[in-house]
Structure 1
Amino acid sequence: MLKTRTTAATAVLASLVVLSACGTERSGSGPGAGSVAPDVPVAGAHWAFDTVTVAGKETRAPDGAHVEIGKDGRASGNSGCNGFGAEVSVEGDTVTVKQQQGTEMACPGERGAFETVLRKAFTGALKARVDGDRLTLTSSDGENVVALTSEPPAPLNGTEWTVESLLAGQTASSVPAGSEGKAHFVIDKDGKVRGSLGCNRFSTTAKISGRTVTFGEITTTRMRCTGPEMALETKLYDVFGDSATYELSHRGLTLTAPDGSGFAAVAKPAPKAAS
């Protein structure tokens, strides 16, 4: 797993310098008249939400909350529960966000609270400031502030993945209430798999060929599990007990069994660089 974000983030931001060449022309006779104000480089990076502040109250983002802004102005992300889309335009140091419809899974507890404030703050014309791998977006009245950090992609092997939703064909649903964050695993570089199914710890092996992962015999501890943990464990056991197709999306992973069942997981946040 990558130990720092500063080097990777610097490389990402350096590659975005070309985006600043089409900056905003200043007019008038004052200082800077006729010069070009570079567009703030926000496209092409994976930005993890750190905190959102609305009317002076700060809310910390859950694991997996992020947004990726394409060079074409199309953005996609996740609030830590639901996925969302947006259109983003950049003019100088102003980033304008027009949110679009996303998924509609129920978001309990802290994830639901964060999604609510994110929708309020991450919209409209926002003043942007980039400082190394940090991005800050502030509303014109200063009441709403969104703080983000660019993150490098996560490899399949060696990353700690936390299960955040269950898949059934094209449908995603939240993990059973009460089991959030309890299922996680690592596929080591030597193919050994270890982790938790939500209650019991497990281990197996993984052989990777193309986009297919073939799991070996699975062994688990023998704790008695009831309620949401057991419901989650049963679903995951079926996926890890056979072969599955995997798909990586920067810091997201899906594993899908031949029958269409599976799960989506998110990488453990990369360590933050010292301020």
Structure 2
Amino acid sequence: MDTGITARLDRIGRDGRYVIVPMDHGITLGAVRGLKDIESTIDAVTRGGADAVLTQKGIAPRVHPNKNDAGYIVHLNASTTIGPDSNDKRMTGTVQEAIAAGADAVSLHLNVGSNYEPKQITDLAEVCDTASKFGIPVLAMSYARGPGIDEHDAESLGHAVRLAEELGADVVKTAYSGDAESFEHVVESTRLPVVIAGGAPEGDKATLEAVRGAMDAGGAGVSIGRSVFQHDDPEAIARAVTSVVHDDLSAEDALDEAGLSVEA
């Protein structure tokens, strides 16, 4: 692996494990709770131990003064929930623009199995090619999404993560299959570090149990957005997630250590 990529992966993770908090949702959902005062949210989650935060390039000036030396990832494509099809992710930036914005890595979203898969495959291949020339790591957010596809099916998720490796990504994010046993197939489908998405918030215990299951299956961490940045205490939930990923705590112990009540 390129020295620059290795060095920058160390900026967005620790010892091959990653706690990333994506906050690019402003372009997708609008200025939802947790993102209006994004400065305070970034400060809170990084104080809680998040290794890196992720936004679109235009938010970079609001990130750097508040990230407490955490890593920074710039996301390079997007869609909106009020547009004609949210699966149709269009390019919003370049690797060079991300570097100019102070990014340690870039990311790109793919919906494998959707009608837009062919263009998104091409986009990822081009981003990986350019990024490798600059020593910039690429996080591929590779989901199984499309007509008739179960977004949590381990076989489909395994295909999605393998696709990311085949195209040259350095880390891959995908959905959690629901249990550690099935997620082992996903992790074994690639040599890349696999991190799980959070999805819609379902409660602290459910979030941390998913993280624990992914780690038990050999996963490399998380890239969880709404369950962290929309939490009533973003610092505390970030600390809990970090404890599971980096300290191998159970969900219950992580909640307790973070001062969050264990849900019934």
TM-score (norm 1): 0.26
Greater C-alpha Rg: 1
Report the structure, 1 or 2, having the larger strand content.
1
Report the structure, 1 or 2, having the larger helix content.
2
Higher RCO structure, 1 or 2 (CA under 8 Å, sep 6+): 2
